[in-house]
Amino acid sequence: MNFKQNEEKDPESLIEAHFTSSDIAAGDLDHPAWNTARVVSIKRYWSGEDAPVGRHAEVRLLWSEAALSVRFVCHQTEPLVMNLHPQTKRKTMGLWDYDVCELFIAPDASQPECYFEFEAAPTGEWLDVAVCQRLDERETNWDFHSGMTAAARVAASNLTIAMCVPWEALGRVPQVNDRWRANLFRCVGADPTRGYLAWRPTRTEEPGFHVPAAFGWIEFKG
């Protein structure tokens, strides 16, 4: 499905990432540039069902000449599910088992099945992998190293998580009006009521995010 067809069927399939002349570090959670970014809401589970407000998240994207910066501001009305022994010097395998926010992004819109997965947790832990999702198997490069950074802030009723990914890791720098395929996710809560939220629901039988056909679009604005 091309962009025009996708947009005609669902006008909510587009994220606008606004350009900033400032390089926004992951820890710049309150940088004024965030106020210029368009808000994207994550309100539904992977299945397409509505999630309770206490699990909703708002996401903003900014891009500079150096990197893509993403900030999630999440409602937090339940105990956090976190690693009891966190470390931030290297990627944390299995991070998806905890509360986490995720970005899947495919720089080549003609090959959305090959994409990068970035995760960040309330502890500041992070994970980056390169993925090719074939029809019958998934190829994952666990040794991929993007140079991403992550930061988080936990408040009384909300959680802020941000990540910064350098373009060098993605193999190209976007131009104004370029469109890349992407999806955004949030995992929150403990079993048996753990929630798997998706900006673009994947509608798999069981919770699953690795569905490139469900990706929306990021448009890079000047």
DSSP assignment string, 15-44:
EEEEE-SS---TT-TT-GGGGGSPPEEE-E
Each residue's pLDDT, cut to its tens digit, for the chain (222 residues) gives 343 444 434 668 999 999 999 999 999 999 999 999 999 999 999 999 999 999 999 999 999 999 999 999 999 999 999 999 999 999 999 999 999 999 999 999 999 999 999 999 999 999 999 999 988 889 999 999 999 999 999 998 999 999 999 999 999 999 999 999 999 999 999 999 999 999 999 999 999 999 999 999 999 999
- Do the beta carbons of residue 215 and residue 106 sit within 8 Å? yes
DSSP β-ladder status, 138-141 and 126-133: antiparallel
Per the rule left: phi > 0, alpha: psi between -120 and 50, beta: everything else, 189 is left
Domain layout of the chain by residue ranges: 15-221
* Topology of the domain covering 15-221: Immunoglobulin-like (2.60.40)
Burial bucket for residue 45 (CB in 10 Å: 0-12, 13-18, 19+):
buried
Radius of gyration of the chain, Cα coordinates, nearest whole angstrom: 16
Residue in the structure block whose two tokens are 């994952």:
140
Global pTM reads 0.94
Q: In terms of C-beta distances under 8 Å and separation of at least 24 residues, what long-range contacts does 1-7 make, across chains too? A: 1/213, 3/109, 3/179, 3/217, 6/216, 6/217, 7/217
Report in angstroms the alpha-carbon separations of 40 from 43, 63, 87, 157, 183: 10, 15, 29, 19, 11
Distance CA 124, CA 150 (A): 6
Q: Which amino acid is at 9?
A: K
In DSSP terms, 45 is beta-bridged to 197
